[in-house]
Amino acid sequence: MIIDCHGHYTTAPKALEDWRNQQIANLNTPSLGPKVSELKISDDELRESIEVNQLAKMKERGIDLTIFSPRASFMAHHIGDFNTSATWASICNELCYRISQLFPGEFIGAAMLPQSPGVDPRSSIPEFEKCIKEYGFVGINLNPDPSGGHWREPALSDPYWYPIYEKMVEYQVPAMIHVSTSCNSCFHTTGAHYLNADTTAFMQCLTSDLFKLFPDLKFLIPHGGGAVPYHWGRFRGLAQEMKKPLLSEHLLKNIYFDTCVYHQPGIDLLTKVIPVENILFASEMIGAVRGIDPETGHYYDDTKRYIENSSILSDEDRVKIYEGNARKVYPRLHQFLESRGVV
């Protein structure tokens, strides 16, 4: 089985974006709407948005199931206040839930949290619990920088975040550490801000003893871990200077990386440097990079090709990357698959 652990609903019907634009236009006059009830998207519209896009490519590329969350750049936690984010997150999560019900063997949800700059993370717990208990979601996306590129929240190792971690451990739910749109002109959203955040999240964990306090906490760092694999020696050396344990003990029982790396040498580096047990298959399809690579004639985000073409990986390694590691990191996904007779 091939599980893609990083999918976003980037192809939602235009009515969703129109509703959001109206919400933003009326931030200072919320009485003018829009009301949640004014957003009308039928099941047929949802089916069409998936069948000709993500599902078609999944079938073409041999991907069986995608962990599916709201569009990352649309989270935009810096816009409005907590009520703005809470309403928007609820709408987006419900759409992903409806997708999971329309395609129950092919999509399963991961929640967007209603974060807002400077707002206590505890405020996100009701939406978190709703998505896990009512929608059957198996993960969350946690934004370490709700300010959108200005980094005003405490580091991920700070007690500020502990209420979320406590719930993650309680429900056996991992977090993909994923920022949203950059509103800092210095940082391009997908080319800089995302990769900066991946690297920053890893370093914030390295400098702390977070996983001594939360030994069962699980983080997935997307986009191949940002700069982490490329500079693995730097991180090992910094940990040594800080008198931290070896990274295999200090971080790699809790931190995992996906394969959203869009060229063969990048995947080869990732799989050579990072233990196979810490790598989960992902493509982020249809996402940030949608074009065809002129050097190969194939889509950049067809990451399964890179795994298949690797001269480093064994067949046993591929099984771990495609399925086994996802079942380990996402216990609720494993339970879901077992309930469907997929063992």
* Residues designated catalytic: 284
Amino acid at 130: K
Strand order in the sheet with 175-177: 3-9, 65-70, 107-112, 139-142, 175-177, 219-221, 255-258, 279-280
The span from the CA of 133 to the CA of 135, in Å, is 6
Long-range contacts of range 56-61, CB-CB < 8 Å, 24 or more positions apart? Answer: 57/285, 57/286, 58/4, 58/106, 58/285, 61/283, 61/285, 61/302, 61/304
Burial of 291 (0-12, 13-18, 19+ CB in 10 A): exposed
The span from the CA of 110 to the CA of 8, in Å, is 9
Q: CA dihedral in degrees (152, 158, 162, 165; nearest 10)? A: 90
β-strand pairing of 65-70 with 175-177 = unpaired
DSSP of 149-193: SS--SPPTTSGGGHHHHHHHHHHT--EEE------STTS-IIIII
Q: Which two tokens stand for residue 6?
A: 């990083």
Burial of 6 (0-12, 13-18, 19+ CB in 10 A): buried
Please answer whether residues 116 and 152 qualify as being in contact, where contact means their C-beta atoms are separated by less than 8 angstroms.
Answer: no
Amino acid at 295: E
